[in-house]
Structure 1
């Protein structure tokens, strides 16, 4: 596969789970890939080695998505390491659950900082470098469209905010030939929500296809949206959730 030959991508939160799968898939399709990580330096280095084994450039950037300055620096570092930027994948995210009465101010601030502000700042910084054919793709959640259980409100709110941001930014950047889209994963087998976890059976019961997705499923959709084949798609959201929201 070489749909992304010559492209340069930055994947935030790319050291594990969905982010790591996206980094590997973009590289497999021909892109050079930089990725950010917060604490998992060893895992980030392993993903970089996989990218390089595919014959592409790989680069890991330590960046806390809750730090606004770190996101801008990460984009600048990626541009320097790769010689430019064509694709930004906003994947880093956190989950803080629980009843509304139990939310702390720290929970609210952290959720908004990582799941919303970091996406805005990284996209703003990347937009200065993207040219015709540029791509911004964010990882949302099926909970942004339909909240199917209690105690996930804070997370759902943060991911729903990205829908409006995606639609607005698509309008802003469309005249420059840059597309902006969002993918909405459902239950995906990662360490954040393992397929063998205590909540897994309840989640499977809500799906039309009663099994967890794989990170590679999400990565395939992201790779498509990053490609030239998706040049006429922008401001759109894509559910990839096993039919939980049907």
Structure 2
């Protein structure tokens, strides 16, 4: 299926690694010119150069911190200048879940909470706020917010709160921006295989005295497809949502964790 993305212009935050990088790669493969943003300049420059060489598309990297309003304003202005406009925004800048045990109630400090929410919730607001007028001026746009399946389960208090907030933000933006031709959706990955997965599994195996295979099997015991979803598979879903083909989906949440047993979502 032709996603009709050839020549579109995208900004991907958190685009130097993980799901953000996978999304940037898939968009570029579909013919999208893009700006990737991240805080680490060395990682960002390497990612942008690799994507451009691999896909032949125009790819620029802009160092940015979505926790800063001024930084976000410079980012979006720079992206528009580099690309000549903006059609697609993928908000993927945020601390990935599952990298460390979530804090218990007594361990949740104001600083810990606000640092997390300032990046993944308010950071998404900042970038969308700057990007949406450029899309509205063209009468077309797509905003995809990367959230997570902690939105649908307990076990990570801050993770659940921030992801619920991202889902609420998404629906509110969809209602406001939909009449201007801008569709807004949220994607909920579960445990996802990225470049951090191998060392994470190795560390858990060493700490528990189990084999890496046993650790990974335990991680996916509640996943109906029986394995970790790869970041590239999440990116396939995001690429569709970024395309004109996804026009019938607006304000909705798409889970892509391989199917979690038990709960019914409707």
**Which TM bucket (shorter chain)?**
over 0.9
Larger Cα Rg: Structure 1 or Structure 2?
A: 2
Are the counterparts in 2 of residues 2 and 28 from structure 1 also a CA contact under 8 Å? no
> For the residues of structure 2 that align with 1:133 and 1:145, how far apart are their CA atoms?
31
User: Shift in Å at residue 193 of structure 1?
Assistant: 5.0
Counterparts of 2:256 and 2:231, CA distance in 1: 11
Which structure has more helix as a fraction of its residues?
2
Give the match for residue 45 of structure 2.
45
The 1:72–1:202 alpha-carbon spacing in structure 2 relative to 1, beyond 3 Å, is: farther
Q: Is the 8 A contact 2:44 2:63 kept in 1?
A: no
Q: How many pairs does the alignment contain?
A: 242
Where does residue 207 of structure 2 map in the other structure? none
- Does residue 19 (structure 1) correspond to residue 20 (structure 2)? The answer is yes
Structure 1 residue 17: Cα displacement: 0.9
When structure 1 is superposed on structure 2, of 178-187 and 95-104 the one drifting more is 95-104
1:109 aligns with: 114
Equivalent in the alignment of 1:244: 260
Mapped partners of 1:181, 1:2: distance in 2: 17
4+ runs deviating over 4 angstroms = 191-195
Unaligned runs of 5+ residues in structure 2 are: 205-214
- Alignment equivalent of 1:209, drawn from 218, 221, 225: 225
Matches of 2:251 and 2:117, distance apart in 1: 21
Q: Decide whether the 8 Å contact of 2:189 with 2:256 is kept in 1.
A: yes
Residues 23 and 232, structure 2, Cα contact 8 Å, conserved in 1:
yes
Q: Flag structure 1 segments of 5+ consecutive residues without an equivalent.
A: none
With structure 2 as the length reference, what TM-score do the two structures score?
0.86
1:72 alignment partner in structure 2: 73
CA contact (8 A) 1:133 1:231 kept: no
Q: CA RMSD in A?
A: 1.8
Contact 1:84 1:129 survives alignment (8 Å)? yes
Does residue 180 of the first structure (1) align with residue 184 of the second (2)?
yes
Change (3 A) 1:164 1:2: closer
